[in-house]
Amino acid sequence: MPKQTVLIIEDEPELQEILTYNLEALGYQVHVYDHGTRGLEAVQKLMPDIILLDVMLPGMDGLEVCRHLRSNNSTKRIPIMMLTAKSEEVDQLVGFQMGADDYVTKPFKVRVLIERIKSLLRRANLPAEDESQVLSSNGIVLDRLQFRVSIDGESVTLTPTEFDLLWQLMEHPGRAYKRYDLMDSVMGDNTVVLERTIDVHIRALRKKMGSKADLIETVRGIGYRLRSNY
């Protein structure tokens, strides 16, 4: 079985070395770039299984790299984990809006980061039989086989995390999910997720849903649910 490929776009030499050492020790093939533009070009050539992307980069910042990757049909489904020293909620929201699947603030524990990488890779490699499904409700259509989303006939671009969140809610309309239960079902129960991270994902998803945003209801003191009637 070929090794899974991790492409790191990060300009801190010490962090490059730490990540490369730990990932290669686990059997991953690692490619490292310290420049945003060159990293973007490398993704398009190598088509890695996952991307670890710093925000502050020379040449092109990580947010712009992320935007380019999500707008390209050949790279839009590659999981992207952003690495940054910016920990404010507004910074996370911008990252998710650009298409990041996860957002890890520095400094971080390498073992926790590895678990989050594994979780994203598991989701990206679900067996085909689990993906060949379509959900349709209230003008929203999700097609897992083709990774397509439409709302009232208009195509909408979601990140893999946003897609899986909406899928989970649409599978059980009316069910109130606790924040952590909802994210466990989407990202795996070995992933360490802060409560505010969950809220940021939902906020980004609602923004993309436009007029259908109020279908996702906040259940005070619990979490979220999708309205069963509209």
Percent share of the chain, pLDDT over 90: 43
User: CB–CB of 98/66 below 8 Å?
Assistant: yes
Could you tell me which of 93, 161, 170, 160 has the C-alpha nearest to residue 134?
170
Q: Comparing 6-15, 80-89, 97-106, 167-176, which segment has the lowest mean pLDDT?
A: 80-89
Residue pointed to by tokens 């710093």: 54
Kindly tell me if the per-residue pLDDT of 26 is higher than 60: yes
Give residue 87's pLDDT.
63
Please calculate the CA angle 38-40-44 and round it to the nearest 5 degrees: 115
Give residue 195's pLDDT.
62
Average pLDDT of the chain to the nearest whole number? 85
Torsion sign over Cα 18, 77, 157, 152? negative
Give residue 166's pLDDT.
92
The amino acid that residue 97 corresponds to is Q
Choose from 42-56, 81-95, 164-178 the range with maximum mean pLDDT. Answer: 42-56
Kindly tell me if the per-residue pLDDT of 12 is higher than 50: yes
* Three-class SS of the chain: CCCCEEEEECCCHHHHHHHHHHHHHCCCEEEEECCHHHHHHHHHHHCCCEEEEECCCCCCCHHHHHHHHHCCCCCCCCCEEEEECCCCHHHHHHHHHHCCCEEEECCCCHHHHHHHHHHHHHHHCCCHHHHCCEEEECCEEEECCCCEEEECCEECCCCHHHHHHHHHHHHCCCCCEEHHHHHHHHHCCCCCCCHHHHHHHHHHHHHHHHHHHHHEEEECCCEEEECCCC
* Partner residues linked to 52 by β-bridges: 8, 81
**Domains plus CATH for the chain?**
5-124 (3.40.50.2300), 129-226 (1.10.10.10)
Kindly tell me if the per-residue pLDDT of 217 is higher than 50: yes
What would the pLDDT profile of 30-60 be if each residue is shown by its tens digit? 999 999 999 999 999 999 999 999 999 999 9
Kindly tell me if the per-residue pLDDT of 17 is higher than 90: yes
User: What is the C-alpha separation between 182 and 217, in angstroms, rounded?
Assistant: 13
Tell me the pTM: 0.66
Kindly tell me if the per-residue pLDDT of 130 is higher than 50: no
